[in-house]
């Protein structure tokens, strides 16, 4: 089976990851392949090699599209997805201090 075009590396817990988890649920988007990680309790073993190869900080969420475009930061990812999948319209509000 072919993988989906857009991959989202994420945790199931935490405020920034949950922005994406809630957005995807509200949006009903199934085009995004979700690669979920168990939330680390400390830095031991984090980031795993798969994430370290993408991001030095190991901070999630991270999105990669089929062209290899890599988007970090939850709000930037929300805007990227909203541009790419405009329907149904979900207003992504800029929160300048985050
Ligand atoms: N400003 C970032 C914050 C992301 C962030 O802090 N993610 C936390 C989880 S809530 C994380 O990845 N922690 C693990 C780490 O930084 O190694 C965003 O909006 O995506």
Q: Candidates 14, 50, 59: which one to mutate for ligand 1, based on the most atoms within 8 Å of Cβ?
A: 59
pLDDT at residue 2 is higher than 80: no
> pLDDT tens across 14-44, in order?
999 999 999 999 999 989 999 999 998 888 9
Separation CA 86–CA 98 (nearest Å) = 23
**Contact 44/38 with Cβ under 8 angstroms?**
no
38: its two tokens: 């168990």
Crossing angle of helices 74-84 and 15-27, rounded to 10°: 10
- Residue 94's pLDDT is what? 73
- Residue 84's pLDDT is what? 96
- Residue 1's pLDDT is what? 47
For residue 77, give the ligand 1 atom closest to its CA.
20
pTM here?
0.89
**Contact 54/63 with Cβ under 8 angstroms?**
no
Q: Is 50 helix (H, G, I), strand (E, B) or coil?
A: helix
**Contact 41/13 with Cβ under 8 angstroms?**
no
Question: Ligand 1 center to residue 1 CA distance, Å?
Answer: 31
Q: Which domains does the chain have, with CATH numbers?
A: 6-84 (3.40.30.10)
């Amino acid at each position: 089976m072919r993988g989906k075009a857009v991959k989202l590396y994420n945790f199931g817990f935490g405020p920034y990851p949950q922005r994406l988890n809630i957005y995807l649920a509200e949006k009903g988007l199934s085009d995004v392949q979700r690669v979920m990680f168990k939330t680390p309790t400390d830095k031991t073993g984090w980031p795993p090699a798969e994430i370290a190869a993408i991001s030095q900080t190991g901070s999630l969420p991270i999105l990669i599209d089929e062209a290899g475009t890599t988007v970090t930061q939850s709000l930037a990812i929300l805007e990227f997805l909203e541009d790419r999948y405009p329907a149904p319209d979900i207003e992504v509000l800029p929160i300048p201090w985050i």
